[in-house]
Chains A and B, each alone.
Chain A
Amino acid sequence: MWIADTYRSGVGQVQSQTTLALVSLLMLFDTAFLGLTGWMFVIPSLIFVMAGLLHRPLLLNGWFWLGIAALATARILYLWHDVDNNGFIYFYWLWILVIAHYVDEDGFKNDIVQFNARYFLVFIMLLAVVRKVTSGTYLDGSFFELVMLTDERFRGFLTLFGVDQAVLSGGSLAIKLLKNPYVAVTDNTVLLGTNAYIRFLAKLVTWYDLLIQLLIGAAFLIRRPSADIIGHIALLVFIFTAYFAAPVIGFSWILAIMGIALAKKPYPNIAMVYLLSFGVMTMYEVPWQAWVT
């Protein structure tokens, strides 16, 4: 019975404005620790996180969110060359929270948050599909093949799928050799140890990534309850699978925040799964890759 009571209490919590604000704040914590460079951004970020956690009424204060949004804006302007997509999405999300906290009516607040959560889920997914289709190096699988051979973050995932460590170990070194002015590589070309299996895995991941993002974007664009449920399920599958292979935790969190914002009133159980994904994504940060490689 206590499990059911705890769950019902959790559902009530996830529907509250405070929870949405709290997870958005935790995103700042993750960004400060894992993603930010420059003490001028890390230290104020951590101060905001501590303040929000220690004095909860701040989470419902527009000035608090304005301060964080201003910090994120300064970071984008100064460190634009180093800011990933999730940094931009989080920046947009912060200004949405600022605007939502400055309006009077609760109904209007919800309209702002929900419209923008849907808009940005469609924006992120469908524009990502457009960029993939038009990039010239995505659809043939060459992009993911290169990533698998050279990006250390994928090594554990590929080892689980039976790819030989010896094949993977040379990829990142190859890039360093090409960049190194103290090494003259013949024709500035290195041979990566690819094979038919890696090529197959790369094509599989290529099409999975493209199609699931297309499904998520299209489902939320339609704006029907049945399509929304499909969109939420696909988004959750995407979060749990894509970020297992490449733990870019910041992006998974921002997608989950938007999922909560959209699902919390009509589908509170789905919102609870998004909330659960925060914990699972954090567990993905456990260095399991070092154990299997």
Chain B
Amino acid sequence: MMSRKGLRLPLILIVPVFAALVFARQVYLQHANGLSLWRGGGMGMFAGIGSPSHRFLKIYLTEGDLPPEPVTRLTRGQNVHYLRAVAEPTQANLAALGRAVADTSWLRRDTDISRRMDSTGKILGPMERQYKVLVADGPRAAGEDEAVPVSVRIEYWENAYDPATGRLSASLVKSLTYRP
């Protein structure tokens, strides 16, 4: 048990000082690494558009000579990487997601769900090429990526809202191509 007078002030202040340091760190990481305003203990929730719900990644897997296909059905472990990359889109976090996707074997399923739409939600027609749906099928076999080159392109997008026009727009902020 502690009762010495010399420890009084440090014991009262240690948590507030630590919280202030965490806040300062969040502000730094927000500007240096794009950390979300809503994460990291920076008291920025409901302070502006910058929540993880207005950020997203588009992931495309290329295997050998096959065209790139979007990866949307992430495993639980890949989803953790996804959330980390969305919260703080550093090269390291994007690459970790790329590695997790590249290390997985994927089954391809034909679909006809690829569509073009206008800004009001009206369907304009099918896309020029119908993307396949990829479903995770366990870890990729060792050496498989040497036989069939694999690359994962990850695009980091952010939403912005223009109140004058009522338009919500997504912009590509950065992208990374991961090759094992």
* Residues of B within 8 A of A (CB-CB), count: 68
Residues of B within 8 A of A189 (CB): 119, 167-170
Q: Number of contact residues on A: which range applies?
A: 35 or more
Q: List 15 A-B contacts (CB under 8 A).
A: A102-B2, A137-B50, A138-B47, A141-B163, A143-B47, A145-B161, A146-B161, A174-B121, A175-B53, A175-B168, A181-B131, A183-B115, A183-B116, A186-B116, A186-B117
Within 8 A of A (CB), among B75-132: 80, 83-84, 86-88, 111, 113-121, 124, 127, 131
Expressed in whole angstroms, the Cα–Cα distance for A187 and B167 within the complex equals: 11
The reply on A208 being an interface residue by CB < 8 A is: no
Given A116-B15, A142-B161, check contact A184 B37 (CB 8 Å). no
Name the residue on A nearest B3 (C-beta). Answer: A104
Within 8 A of B (CB), among A147-193: 147, 150-151, 170, 173-175, 177-193
**Do A137 and B49 have beta carbons less than 8 Å apart?**
yes
The reply on B32 being an interface residue by CB < 8 A is: no
Chain A positions 104 through 138: 1 when the CB is less than 8 Å from some CB of chain B, otherwise 0: 11001001100110011001100110011001111
The reply on A82 being an interface residue by CB < 8 A is: yes
Given A116-B15, A127-B43, check contact A143 B49 (CB 8 Å). yes
**Do A178 and B2 have beta carbons less than 8 Å apart?**
no
Name the residue on A nearest B82 (C-beta). Answer: A81
Task: Select which of A85, A151, A174, A187 is within 8 A of B41 by beta carbon.
Answer: A85
- Nearest 5 CB-CB pairings of A with B: A135-B48, A181-B70, A88-B41, A81-B87, A131-B47
Within 8 A of A (CB), among B39-53: 39-50, 52-53
**Do B23 and A103 have beta carbons less than 8 Å apart?**
no
Within 8 A of B (CB), among A238-252: 246
The reply on B179 being an interface residue by CB < 8 A is: no
Within 8 A of A (CB), among B48-64: 48-50, 52-54, 56, 58-60
Name the residue on B nearest A144 (C-beta). Answer: B46
Expressed in whole angstroms, the Cα–Cα distance for A228 and B179 within the complex equals: 59
**Do B46 and A209 have beta carbons less than 8 Å apart?**
yes
Residues of A within 8 A of B41 (CB): 83, 85, 88
**Do B168 and A192 have beta carbons less than 8 Å apart?**
yes
The reply on B178 being an interface residue by CB < 8 A is: no
Name the residue on B nearest A145 (C-beta). Answer: B163
Within 8 A of A (CB), among B1-43: 1-3, 8, 11-12, 14-16, 18-20, 22-23, 37-43
Expressed in whole angstroms, the Cα–Cα distance for A157 and B160 within the complex equals: 24
The reply on A288 being an interface residue by CB < 8 A is: no
Residues of B within 8 A of A170 (CB): 121
